[in-house]
Amino acid sequence: MTQITIQTPDDWHLHFRDGDILTETVAATARCFSRAIVMPNLVPPVTNAAMLTEYKSRILAAKPAQSNFQPLMTLFLTNSTTVEDIAAAKQAGAVACKLYPAGATTNSDAAVSALDAMFPIFEAMAEQGLLLLIHGEVTRHEIDIFDREKAFIDEHMTKIVARLPQLKIVFEHITTADAAQFVAEGPDNLAATITPQHLMLNRNDLLVGGVKPHNYCLPVLKRSTHQQALRDAVKTGSKKFFLGTDSAPHEKHMKESACGCAGCYSAWSALELYTQVFEELDALDKLEGFASHHGADFYGLPRNEGTVTLVKEEWQIPAEIILPNGNPIVPFYAGQTVNWKLKAE
- List binding-site positions for Zn(2+): 13, 15, 98, 135, 173, 246
Q: Distance (Å, rounded) from C-alpha 19 to C-alpha 11?
A: 21
Query: Which of the residues 10, 11, 85, 246 is marked catalytic?
Result: 246
The binding site consists of 13, 15-17, 41, 98, 135, 173, 218, 246, 250, 262
Cα pseudo-dihedral 49, 55, 58, 64, rounded to 10:
-110
Element counts in the chain: helices (H) and strands (E): 14, 13
Amino acid at 330: V
d(CA 4, CA 312): 9
Report d(CA 247, CA 195) in Å as an integer: 8
Whether 246 sits among the annotated catalytic residues: the reply is yes
Whether the CB-CB separation of 176 and 150 falls below 8 Å is answered with yes
Rg (CA), the chain: 19
DSSP conformation class of 125: H
Closest CA to 197 of 97, 140, 274: 274
Distances (CA, A) of 262 to 101, 136, 205: 15, 16, 15
Q: Which residues are annotated as a binding site for substrate?
A: 15-17, 41, 135, 218, 250, 262
Among left, alpha and beta (phi > 0; psi -120 to 50; other), residue 112 is: beta
Taking residue 305's Cβ as centre, other Cβ atoms within 10 Å add up to 9
DSSP track, 43-59:
SS---SHHHHHHHHHHH
> Which residues, 6+ apart, have CB-to-CB distance to 188 below 8 Å?
none
d(CA 303, CA 294): 9
Residues taking part in catalysis:
246
